[in-house]
Chain A
Amino acid sequence: MMEKMLELKNITKRFPGLVANDSVSLDGVAGEVHAVVGENGAGKSTLMNIITGLYHQDEGEVWSRGEKLEFSGPRDAILKGIGMVHQHFMLVNRFTVVQNIILGYEGTKSGVIDFEQARNKVEELCRLYDFKLDLDKPVGELSVGHQQRVEILKVLYRGADILILDEPTAVLTPQEVEELFTNLEKLKTQGKLILFISHKLHEVLRISDRITVLRRGKVVGTVVAGETNKKRLAEMMVGRPVLFRLEKPECEVQEPVLEVRNVTIKTGEDRQSLNNLSLTLRRGEIYGIAGVEGNGQRELVEAVMGLTAYHEGSILIKGQETKGKCVRDVRKIGVGYIPEDRHHRAVVLPMTVWENAVLGMEGDVDYGSWWKLNIEGIKEFTKRKIAEFDIRLGTIDSAIRNLSGGNQQKVVLARELSTDPDVIIAAQPVRGLDIGAIEFVHKQLINARSNGKGVLMISADLEEVLSVSDRVGIMYNGEIVKEFVPGELEVEEIGHYMLGASQKVGEASHD
């Protein structure tokens, strides 16, 4: 038996009214990728925060190589060789790769930062782990995949041999995921222990040696990756069987309901966030937009909704030109909108559930007159929707921030579908939701489409786009570079388009 690099013994962490971790035990050995999976709120983050010294457990012990660890802060954990690669990068865009890596741990020579020594050390690490990076480039100019490498190097530079990766693939293209996995394999062979936090089960199954499943703060079980499958893992996570195949009835595609014609948004002299983009959404279909985030998806949605002005081209909804129309008018034509940034675009966190349920419609006739809100009527409406959408909450008078992400999203969905819109714009509709809520949201979108509505769905999750959409457009650099029907293209090929078809030859594949 190999020595355990990390061992958690019966970790319990309580927050007011909630047991985030309930006697959690897990261990890891050198050269292992150990995945920790679970739905949102299962306690993954709390557990990782304990391991990295951000929180202190109420009960239980953390051991490493036969030594009991006591942390009084994150720095202690780093000294013990535990490092975290965050999902949201903590990098200074204007600094070069080397500067970012040594930030906070700058070695000095007679009071001055010793860049030469630091650079040598970083170069050595790159050689050792086979990381390809331009060390003198400002981090802001690197691709997301390369930025992630910088994050990993940062942790290695600080001497970590236990690496925690929090949802590392969430922002990567399929190719970048492959490259990451190659890097991880290399780290494994060098005797590192990698804790891999994720909810993408197929990736977890591919890269990990063992998988620990958390549910409601408890360990459901630890399994060997080779001895399980996606279905069984999902069942462990959710606690009930999960249908992976979406029920999608056949549906006849009808006339166009949203037409985007040659739309361009300029952001500078010769830069544009949307570049002569055209697409047509028809009744009875879900048009999915795939692509790496930041390639104009947000601008496309905002242009359609009237949230941002565009410089060239035109957008037609149900045949009506919408140029110059405000959000309210666009919605009036018959558009429902599920924004991607739930907390800043979809709900007003400190306001109550019932207020959020009619946000934007508060002045409509059903809900009162200009001098009086029909509070009774709104509450009645909200209660109906809560029953219809199975929204779990204590009282509709509580602030919506107290609801789980899934229930918040259901309130948004209920509101946006209540006007019976003909076009539904769903941007990252299931981001941050757990499996149950994801199923629900997808079902609602598919229902709408089967009832002859048009759904435009934007998602960074390729798997989601491919399983839900009837037609897919790949966005790169403000353009739709490829349209296809799911099943037509191999994932590999889609990845090439996501990185810009022109780079197809340049980027090497690993298969």
Chain B
Amino acid sequence: MTKKTKIMLLQIVSPIIAVLFAVIVSSVLIVVIGKNPLEVYQIMLEFSFGRVDSIAAILFNATPLIFSGLSVAIGFRLGLFNIGAEGQYFMGALCAAYVGFSFGNLPMIIHLPLAIIAAMVGGALWALIPIYLKLKRGVHEVISTIMLNYVAYSLINYLISDVFMDNNQHIPEGTGSPIIRTPKLLASVLMPKLNDFLSLFGIDLPSYAYVNWFFVLALVLAAGIYYLVARTPFGFRMRAVGSSPGAAEASGINPQGVYLRGFLLSGAIAGLIGLSHLLCFYGYMDLDFPKSLGFNGIAVALMGNNNPFGIVVSALLFGFLSRGAEGIQTFLGIPMEVVVIMQGTIILSVVVAASILGRYIRIWEKKEA
């Protein structure tokens, strides 16, 4: 076995060991609340992988996490901590929603891409503020992005409830009050689900499965980001600036330009996070639009070691965990929070395992160099 394959094997094995460790820790917790851990895991696995609708739900859960993981990972590659993916995806989603309900009479082939582009522009513009402040004024991006997340939340709430509020909702007399939401998006902007496509292969998804083409887009984007980082001069510069801005600068790379473009890219991708929900599941944006998908991207990126393929795998793992949580809550009456704790333990142990492994590999490389 060559050194390279050995290292690769270790890189795959170590997160698995970390996950097993997290499983053991969670087992203790489950025993403490008086349940049988084996039974819990069995239900989780059976419920998640034994039914086609569960698989679809896992893929649907994973879709926004792939986008947010990629967005955060690009920041990390640059040595920047983009905590603002949260706010950027809200702004992106709103831009897409605006295009979705106000641009009428467009064929889908134009309308849908337009909405996607609007989302990316919205995310990038929201990312422009913190990176501009950092480059021109030296404001740390962690502070500014956290603050801008709150600004985005409030701004979106204001825009939805006061500016874009749909006042023409048809509510039958006496059945309640209108929802505070934007107008419904036009059909030409909605992303088709994978149901029809998969039925070609004899896989029939139930109508309540919402996995859609954004999942495929996320996979393509992951491959694209991998190529960008590993194979293009711009990716090369991103890695150089991210690891050593001083050396990059002295060699003639302009770190400021790389920071700016890289961060805008991160924001543009963050703009896509909410689209799978917006353009397929909800069809409008309301005050209950799902939150914290941007924050979860930090965990996904950490677990995936900032590698696009690792991010896809960890997003799928997270998707499975939340689907499994629904299962054990329904069938065993175990609170979903148990799974949240499990998620946390997994993230911690994977990160620790990765740093131990990294040190080990470094010593090992040194030995053979």
A residues in contact (CB < 8 Å) with B: 16-18, 305, 307, 326-328, 331, 337, 339, 341, 344-351, 355, 359-363, 367-368, 370-373, 375, 393-394, 398-399, 401-403
Judge whether B243 and A348 touch: CB under 8 Å. Answer: yes
Judge whether A305 and B250 touch: CB under 8 Å. Answer: yes
Judge whether B244 and A399 touch: CB under 8 Å. Answer: no
Judge whether A373 and B246 touch: CB under 8 Å. Answer: no
Residues of B within 8 A of A403 (CB): 369
| Given A348-B244, A373-B232: A327 and B249 interface contact (C-beta under 8 Å) | yes
Residues of B within 8 A of A328 (CB): 252-254
Among A326, A348, A355, the most chain B Cβ lie within 10 Å of the Cβ of A348
Given contacts A328-B253, A373-B233, A403-B369, 19 further A-B contacts (CB under 8 A): A16-B364, A16-B367, A327-B252, A327-B254, A339-B250, A349-B244, A351-B240, A359-B240, A359-B253, A360-B251, A362-B233, A363-B233, A368-B233, A370-B233, A370-B234, A394-B368, A398-B365, A401-B362, A402-B366
List the 8 shortest-distance A-B pairs measured between CB atoms, nearest first.
Answer: A17-B367, A360-B251, A402-B369, A328-B252, A363-B233, A360-B252, A344-B246, A348-B244
Residues of B within 8 A of A373 (CB): 231-233, 236
| Given A307-B249, A348-B243: A375 and B231 interface contact (C-beta under 8 Å) | yes
CB of B247 closer than 8 Å to a CB of A: yes
Among B237, B248, B249, B251, the most chain A Cβ lie within 10 Å of the Cβ of B251
CB of B363 closer than 8 Å to a CB of A: yes
A360 to B236, CA, bound (A): 10
B residues in contact (CB < 8 Å) with A: 231-234, 236-237, 239-240, 243-244, 246-254, 362-369
Shortest distance from the beta carbon of A18 to any chain B beta carbon, whole Å: 7
Shortest distance from the beta carbon of A183 to any chain B beta carbon, whole Å: 37
Judge whether A394 and B233 touch: CB under 8 Å. Answer: no
Can you list 11 residue pairs at the A/B interface with Cβ under 8 Å?
A: A326-B254, A348-B240, A348-B244, A359-B247, A360-B252, A362-B233, A362-B236, A370-B234, A393-B369, A394-B368, A399-B365
Residues of B within 8 A of A370 (CB): 232-234
Judge whether B240 and A345 touch: CB under 8 Å. Answer: no
Closest to A378 in B: B236
Closest to A367 in B: B233
Residues of B within 8 A of A371 (CB): 232
| Given A17-B367, A18-B367: A345 and B236 interface contact (C-beta under 8 Å) | no
A305 to B240, CA, bound (A): 19
A430 to B249, CA, bound (A): 22
A163 to B244, CA, bound (A): 37
A401 to B250, CA, bound (A): 18
Query: How many residue pairs, one in A and one in B, have C-beta atoms under 8 Å apart?
Result: 93
Shortest distance from the beta carbon of B358 to any chain A beta carbon, whole Å: 10
Shortest distance from the beta carbon of A181 to any chain B beta carbon, whole Å: 36
A307 to B246, CA, bound (A): 10
A349 to B244, CA, bound (A): 8
Residues of A within 8 A of B248 (CB): 348, 359-360
Closest to B257 in A: A326
A16 to B366, CA, bound (A): 9
Among B231, B240, B364, the most chain A Cβ lie within 10 Å of the Cβ of B240
Among B247, B363, B366, the most chain A Cβ lie within 10 Å of the Cβ of B247
Residues of A within 8 A of B362 (CB): 399, 401
Judge whether A307 and B250 touch: CB under 8 Å. Answer: yes
Shortest distance from the beta carbon of A431 to any chain B beta carbon, whole Å: 16
Residues of A within 8 A of B240 (CB): 348, 351, 355, 359
Residues of B within 8 A of A361 (CB): 251-252
Judge whether B233 and A347 touch: CB under 8 Å. Answer: no
Judge whether A394 and B250 touch: CB under 8 Å. Answer: no
Closest to A346 in B: B247
Closest to B244 in A: A348
Judge whether B243 and A349 touch: CB under 8 Å. Answer: yes
Judge whether A359 and B251 touch: CB under 8 Å. Answer: yes
Judge whether A362 and B250 touch: CB under 8 Å. Answer: no
A375 to B232, CA, bound (A): 10
A24 to B194, CA, bound (A): 71
A372 to B232, CA, bound (A): 5
Judge whether B233 and A327 touch: CB under 8 Å. Answer: no
A354 to B236, CA, bound (A): 12
| Given A344-B247, A394-B369, A402-B365: A372 and B252 interface contact (C-beta under 8 Å) | no
A401 to B362, CA, bound (A): 9
Closest to B366 in A: A402
Residues of A within 8 A of B366 (CB): 16-17, 402
Residues of A within 8 A of B233 (CB): 362-363, 367-368, 370, 373
Shortest distance from the beta carbon of A45 to any chain B beta carbon, whole Å: 16
A348 to B240, CA, bound (A): 6
Shortest distance from the beta carbon of B289 to any chain A beta carbon, whole Å: 36
Residues of A within 8 A of B252 (CB): 326-328, 331, 360-361
Closest to B358 in A: A350
Residues of A within 8 A of B236 (CB): 355, 362, 373
Residues of B within 8 A of A349 (CB): 243-244
The answer, among B231, B243, B246, for a CB contact under 8 Å with A350, is B243
Judge whether A16 and B363 touch: CB under 8 Å. Answer: yes
A345 to B248, CA, bound (A): 7
Residues of A within 8 A of B364 (CB): 16
Judge whether A372 and B247 touch: CB under 8 Å. Answer: no
A360 to B252, CA, bound (A): 5
Among A327, A368, A370, the most chain B Cβ lie within 10 Å of the Cβ of A327
Shortest distance from the beta carbon of B329 to any chain A beta carbon, whole Å: 43
A367 to B367, CA, bound (A): 31
A373 to B368, CA, bound (A): 28
Residues of A within 8 A of B243 (CB): 348-351
Judge whether B367 and A360 touch: CB under 8 Å. Answer: no
A387 to B246, CA, bound (A): 28
Shortest distance from the beta carbon of A481 to any chain B beta carbon, whole Å: 28
Shortest distance from the beta carbon of B234 to any chain A beta carbon, whole Å: 7
Residues of A within 8 A of B246 (CB): 341, 344-345
Judge whether B247 and A348 touch: CB under 8 Å. Answer: yes
Judge whether A337 and B363 touch: CB under 8 Å. Answer: no
Closest to A326 in B: B254
Among B239, B246, B369, the most chain A Cβ lie within 10 Å of the Cβ of B369
Closest to B236 in A: A362
Closest to B237 in A: A362
Closest to A350 in B: B243
Residues of B within 8 A of A398 (CB): 365, 369
Closest to A306 in B: B252
Residues of B within 8 A of A399 (CB): 362, 365
